[in-house]
Amino acid sequence: MKDIKKIVNKFIAYADKYLELNKNDEIFVKNRVLEILSKSTGEKLTLEERDEIFSTLSLMPSKIQEKFSSLLATDGKAAMDWFYNYCVHNDYVKLSQLNKNPRFNRNGLIITINKAKPEFKNPQKAKQENSVEGGFAECVICRENEGFGLRNKRNLRTVEITLGGEKWFWQFSPYGYFKEHGIAVNCKHIPMHIDKTTFINLMDFVDLFPHYFIGSNAALPRIGGSVLAHDHYQGGREILPMHQATAAYTLYHKDYLDIIAEVVSWNGSVIRLVSKNRNSISALSEIIFNAWINYENVELGIIAKDDEGFHNAISPTLRKTERGYEMNIILRNNVVSKEFPDGVFHAHPQYHMIKKESIGLIEAQGLFILPGRLEKQLNYLEELIKNNIALPKEYAEFKMVYDHVKIMKGDVHEAMQNEIARICNCILKDTAVFKDKKQMVNFLIDLGFNL
C-alpha cells in the first residue's frame, strides 16, 4: 500500500471530525491503524480490515454508553440521533449501500428491493457470517457479538436501555430496511415470547423514544422473524403504511371506556387500541391476546391447536401519537394444509416468484422487502414487453406478471410497479385470518366490545 502514513492521517482526521476521538488517544490509535494497514497486502482494504480500522477509530462501548445515557437523561430523540449518526460514521450502518435500494410507494404500500444485504452464494461464507462458533455469543443477536471479529462485528456498538425493569440493549441494523431500523434485544438469551410484559416493554420503549415505532414478531415459525431463539423487537423512525390506515369500525369495551378500539382498514387482520392510559392498553391487549390464542373457527380455516402445537399468535406493534399509545395487534396463524404446505395464511404459491419468505412484522405493516434478484428479473420483463417479445420458458413463473403488465396502458416501468404493488396487497390478504372485517368485529363483540 502506497502513502501509508498519508492514509493513516486521513483516518485520524476522520475520527477527529466524526468519531469523537480523544486527543489523548490519538498517538495510540494512529499506531494501531498503521499496524493494520502495514499488514494489508491487497490494493484495496478487505471488509475485515475496514472493520478493524473503524473499530480502532471508534469509542469503546463504555464511552458510547456514557454519552448515550447522558443525552437520554433529558432527551431520548437527541440520544438516538447521536447514536445513529455515530453508527453511520463508524461504518456499521451501510447507509450508502442502503440508499441504492430501489424503493417506491404505490397503492398504499412501500416496496423496496434489498440489494444491500450481500447474497452469499458461497455457503462457506454464509456459514461464517451467521456462525457464532468460537465466540462467547449463543446466537447471532446476543450482545456478546459486540466486537466479535469472526462475524465482522468489530465496529458494532450497542447501548443499554431498561424495558419493564429488565436490561435490554439497542443496536442499529447494518442493512436496515427503513429509516433508522434497529433492534431492541433482551440482554439475556431467552426465547421469543409474547405476554403481558411485552406490551409493557413496548410502551416503555416509546416513552423513551417517542419518535420511533417498536413491534415484536409473532413467536411462531413461518409467520415471523428468523431468530426465534432470542427475545427481541424491531423498530425505527419510519411511519409505515399500516400506521396510517384508518378505522373500518370503531368499538368500545364496557370495562375500558378510556380506550378506542379500531378494526383497521387494512388487508391484514389488525386491531388497534388507542389510549393515553398505559394500564388500560396493557390489560386490554392481554385480553385480546389470550382470546386469540384459543380462538378457533374451522369454517375460516383458523385452527388454534393440533398435533403440531399452537397456531395462533400476534404481532404487537406500537407508536405514540397525539392520540396517545396506538397499540396495533396483528392477528396471525401459521397452520399448514395439504393445499398450502407453506402456510394457509401465508403468501399463496402463485406469488412466490415475488416473495416466498415469511411475511414478518415489517411486511405486515406494509413495507415489503423483496429479494435482490428481482431488480434484474423485472427489468428484463419490462424489456420483453417494450419490444413485444414472447416470454421465454425459463421465466414461466412470471407469466401472470407479464400478461398483466402487457395489457396495461402507459409507461411500462410504472405498470410493472403497479403490478408488484397489487401482488403485495394480495399477499397481505393471504395473511389475513379474517377475510371479512365483520368477522373481526364479531370476534371483538364476544370479548365485551360494542360498536
CB of 61 to Zn ion, least distance (A): 17
CB of 313 to Zn ion, least distance (A): 20
Give the interface size with Zn ion as a residue count (CB under 5 A). 5
CB of 139 to Zn ion, least distance (A): 3
CB of 385 to Zn ion, least distance (A): 47
CA geometry: angle 217, 214, 284, nearest 5 deg = 80
Whole-angstrom Cα distance, residue 161 to residue 142?
15
Whole-angstrom Cα distance, residue 290 to residue 312?
10
Tell which positions 120-139 bind Zn ion, by CB under 5 A.
Answer: 138-139
CB of 446 to Zn ion, least distance (A): 38
Among 184-192, 246-254, 313-321, 356-364, the segment contacting Zn ion (CB under 5 A): 184-192
CB of 173 to Zn ion, least distance (A): 16
Residue 189 interacting with Zn ion (CB under 5 A): yes
Instruction: Please identify, using beta-carbon distances, which residue of 95 and 187 lies nearer to Zn ion.
Output: 187
CB of 158 to Zn ion, least distance (A): 13
Angle between helices 278-293 and 196-208 (to 10 degrees): 140
Question: Using the rule CB under 5 A, which residue among 89, 230, 243, 272 binds Zn ion?
Answer: 230
Among 76-84, 156-164, 225-233, 412-420, the segment contacting Zn ion (CB under 5 A): 225-233
Among 157-165, 192-200, 227-235, 424-432, the segment contacting Zn ion (CB under 5 A): 227-235
Among 189-197, 289-297, 392-400, 418-426, the segment contacting Zn ion (CB under 5 A): 189-197
Residue 187 interacting with Zn ion (CB under 5 A): no
Among 4-12, 54-62, 98-106, 185-193, the segment contacting Zn ion (CB under 5 A): 185-193
Closest among 295, 288, 241 to 261, alpha carbons compared: 288
Question: Using the rule CB under 5 A, which residue among 72, 113, 116, 142 binds Zn ion?
Answer: 142
Q: Binding residues for Zn ion, per CB under 5 A?
A: 138-139, 142, 189, 230
